[in-house]
Amino acid sequence: MAVKVKPGGKVVGIVLLLGAIYAGKVLWWDKRPKEAKAATEIGKVSLPDAAEASLSGNAVKLPLPESTEALNGGTKISWRVMAWNSQFALMYANGGANTTKGSLIDKAKLQLQLVRQDDCNKSLADMVKFAQDYKKNPNTTGIFASFMGDGMPAFFAALAKELEPLGPDYQPIAFYTMGKSYGEDKLMGPVEWKRDPKSALGKTVAGVLRDGDINIMLKWAGDNNIPVNPDETSYDRNAINIIAANDFLDAGAKYIAGYKETRKLVIDGKKTSKDTTVGVDGVATWTPGDVNVAQKKGGLVNIASTREYSSQMPNITITIKKFAYDHRTDIENLIIALAQAGDQVRSYNEAKAFAGDVSAKVYNEQNGAYWLKYYNGVEEKDAQGLNIPLGGSMAFNLTDAANTFGMGKDAIDRYKIVYGTFGEILTRMYPEIMPTYPVYSQVVDKSFLASVVANHPELLEGAAIKEKYAENITSEVSSKSYQIQFETGSSVIKAGSHAVLDEILKSAVVAEGLKVGVYGHTDNVGNPTANEKLSNERAEAVKNYLIGKGLAEARIESKGYGDTKPIADNTTNDGRAKNRRVQIVLGQ
């Protein structure tokens, strides 16, 4: 006779059965040997620990590359680099002087050889030979070179002329920026120059002619209305004079050694047959040139540097147009690798230290700790006991690169402004040597970067370098007055003055590390209270114009002083005209 199970008994039976199955799973099935899934190394999720971290939250810290050379069969490129800390992203990404296993460049299926070359002219010669060889043989190893961005008008002018016989496809193009000088390139001079820029009149600066560091001196001199003598064989007591150096280290060495040379005197603007002897009063250089000056002799302070002129000197990488277009995917993968490397170096001290170690191997000088120290920038006492800021560079992530080329939120093409600013300065100073320079759009190809920006929004999550400005300017780096025309008795700017305002904008963009002071002044005609009110409104109008062009409002301060700070005699028409001015101060 069959036994009928009650509903309650069914439930108990089911529970016992499930319990037996679960026990079997835990005690036998889960513990049996089985094939493991392939391990995937994705990096550690780690809080960024670097002071200038661009990543935030639980960002992914990538594993460091191996030390063994990669042989991935990818496109081969030999890259000419100066001993310059702005290349930390490249050092990290490549893993060594030659691409190493597991590096970001290895993953991009590229094989890079990094070659130190401090002589820009030799790098240009290598680029010319590469173009000639590549036209004959498309399997030729690619050549890249990195230069100081503000010096590129001169470099492009020389290179474009040499490559012209090969045709337009073999012209040079700039396609990316991996970082920038952020203090290490500088004008060093006696402390009096800092207190009173006009005390530099009749003095000398050693530096490489028509090069990035000399450009810092030219920018500072121009912002302070100080003439510069373009002839390195003469001496003008009413201008700053340049002593030619072979390279950036030679500039400092000349100061340290007490170098002197004979010059022809300039009197009343004319070169005479009279001789005079000049020494080196100041130096335009970069690390380790500034370190050598400080440690071996001292006595010079930083007058102006790329910390203040923080947009002036991006690291600009160039190659030949035909090679770049033949290897578009390679170029874009390279940009991706360098952008990722920039975030790693900016965010993790371990990655930054690794980049320093690679730098020492590539440059074959000092050790990783040395390059790391001066990448970060330090303040040290020089041989005469003066406190001197030394070094200072910054790696770029994709957001920084986009901002440099006008693809950022403010739409300011910083590099276009830098390129044009120093191109114009050099053509004015050296019309015989450099009567013109290539148009920006012909030598800067943003298509590779634009493609990466459009197709990889995840790489734009890293924060851009952000300047911090004081509430008020307490220390001036430069001061220059402009004659800006307004409608009579009004703060409405006449259209004819927009060109002057755009020049002020350009100067401010180059000097992105400085706050901008806009100060209005009047003559003494009329009511003092009304004059102060009008000068304040006019200064505010200039401020608003600059904001409308993309400058951050927090960066600009404006104030009207009325007739209280004349610079000329108010009893003459000419004097009153000079007193009606807008003064632009760049300071901290």
CATH number for position 191: 3.40.190
Residue 3 in this model has a pLDDT that exceeds 70: no
Residue 60 in this model has a pLDDT that exceeds 60: yes
Q: Are residues 256 and 130 in the same domain?
A: no
pLDDT score of 11 = 40
Q: How far apart, in whole angstroms, are the C-alpha atoms of residue 378 and residue 370?
A: 11
Classify strands 204-207 and 240-244 as parallel, antiparallel or unpaired. Answer: parallel
Total Cβ atoms within 10 A of residue 107:
20
Q: Are residues 397 and 502 in the same domain?
A: no
pTM of the predicted structure, to 2 decimals: 0.87
Q: How far apart, in whole angstroms, are the C-alpha atoms of residue 398 and residue 50?
A: 18
pLDDT score of 40 = 38
pLDDT score of 45 = 57
The 3-state secondary structure of 390-439 reads ECCEEECCHHHHHHHCCCCCCCCCHHHHHHHHHHHHHHHHCCCCCCCCCC
Q: Are residues 325 and 417 in the same domain?
A: yes
Residue 2 in this model has a pLDDT that exceeds 90: no
Which whole number is the average pLDDT over 39-43? 42
Which whole number is the average pLDDT over 287-303? 95
Residue 486 or residue 340, greater confidence: 340
Q: How far apart, in whole angstroms, are the C-alpha atoms of residue 92 and residue 370?
A: 16
Q: Are residues 201 and 298 in the same domain?
A: yes
Residue 436 in this model has a pLDDT that exceeds 60: yes
- Choice among 298-307, 310-319, 471-480 with the minimum mean pLDDT: 471-480
Helix (H, G, I), strand (E, B) or coil at 174: strand
The answer to whether position 22 is within a domain reads no
Q: Are residues 484 and 369 in the same domain?
A: no
Whole-angstrom CA distances from 134 to 77, 161, 177, 444 are: 12, 18, 24, 21
Question: Among the three residues 305, 332, 365, which one is the final residue of a domain in this structure?
Answer: 305
Q: What is the mean pLDDT of the chain?
A: 91
Question: Among the three residues 305, 340, 370, which one is the final residue of a domain in this structure?
Answer: 305
pLDDT score of 47 = 81
Length of the chain in terms of residues written: 588
Residue 122 in this model has a pLDDT that exceeds 60: yes
Residue 149 in this model has a pLDDT that exceeds 90: yes
Q: Percent of the chain at pLDDT above 70? A: 92
pLDDT score of 452 = 98
Which whole number is the average pLDDT over 54-80? 94
Q: Considering just the CA atoms, what is the radius of gyration of the chain in Å?
A: 30
pLDDT score of 44 = 54
Q: Are residues 443 and 339 in the same domain?
A: yes
Helix (H, G, I), strand (E, B) or coil at 264: strand
- Choice among 11-25, 83-97, 169-183, 442-456 with the minimum mean pLDDT: 11-25
Residue 39 in this model has a pLDDT that exceeds 80: no
Establish whether the linkage from the previous residue to 457 is cis, with ω within 30° of 0. no
- Choice among 42-46, 181-185, 259-263, 332-336 with the minimum mean pLDDT: 42-46
Q: Are residues 176 and 197 in the same domain?
A: no
Tokens coding 402: 């986009």
Q: Are residues 353 and 501 in the same domain?
A: no
Question: Among the three residues 460, 485, 513, which one is the final residue of a domain in this structure?
Answer: 460
Q: Percent of the chain at pLDDT above 90? A: 84
**Contact (CB, 8 A) for 180 and 258:** no
- Choice among 12-21, 368-377, 553-562 with the minimum mean pLDDT: 12-21
Q: Are residues 176 and 190 in the same domain?
A: no
pLDDT score of 51 = 87
pLDDT score of 440 = 97
The answer to whether position 353 is within a domain reads yes
DSSP code of residue 508: H
pLDDT score of 6 = 42
pLDDT tens for 132-145 read 999 999 999 999 99
The answer to whether position 24 is within a domain reads no
**Sign of the Cα pseudo-torsion (240, 84, 342, 444, in order):** positive
CATH of the domain at 336: 3.40.190.10
**Contact (CB, 8 A) for 223 and 233:** no
Which whole number is the average pLDDT over 203-214? 92
Domain holding 280, by residue range, is 186-305
Which whole number is the average pLDDT over 228-232? 94
Question: How many domains does the chain contain in total?
Answer: 3
Where residue 59 falls among pLDDT bands split at 50, 70, 90? Answer: confident
pLDDT score of 35 = 46
Which whole number is the average pLDDT over 391-397? 96
pLDDT score of 4 = 36
The answer to whether position 34 is within a domain reads no
pLDDT score of 414 = 97
Residue 183 in this model has a pLDDT that exceeds 50: yes
Residue 33 in this model has a pLDDT that exceeds 90: no
